């Protein structure tokens, strides 16, 4: 069921990931520290879903690692501020 749903919206999710990647790059260039964390997390989660759909193990695990790091960074930011 999930595979069918992901497959149906895969192209839209990839366009959203591209948009989030561009916004994330702008956040990094502009030194908007917490914004980059909050934008990058959904970017990685979209790629985790798409990789799971296609069983691309390496891409999936890399994005899971980055997702965990972004969650850590967001939690750290929320605790410190």
Quick one: pLDDT at residue 14? 86
pTM: 0.75
User: Which of 46, 20, 35 lies closest to 73 in space, CA to CA?
Assistant: 35
- Per-residue pLDDT band for 69 (boundaries 50, 70, 90) equals very high
Alpha-carbon distances, residue 71 vs 23, 34, 35, 66, 80 (angstroms): 18, 12, 13, 9, 14
């Amino acid at each position: 069921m999930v595979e069918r749903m992901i497959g149906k919206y895969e192209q839209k999710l990839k366009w959203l990931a591209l948009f989030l990647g561009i916004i994330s790059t702008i956040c990094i260039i502009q030194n908007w520290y917490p914004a980059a964390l909050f934008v990058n997390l959904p970017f990685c989660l979209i790629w985790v879903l798409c990789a799971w759909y296609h069983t691309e193990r390496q891409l999936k695990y890399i994005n899971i690692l980055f997702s965990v790091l972004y969650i850590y960074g967001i939690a750290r930011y929320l605790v410190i501020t």
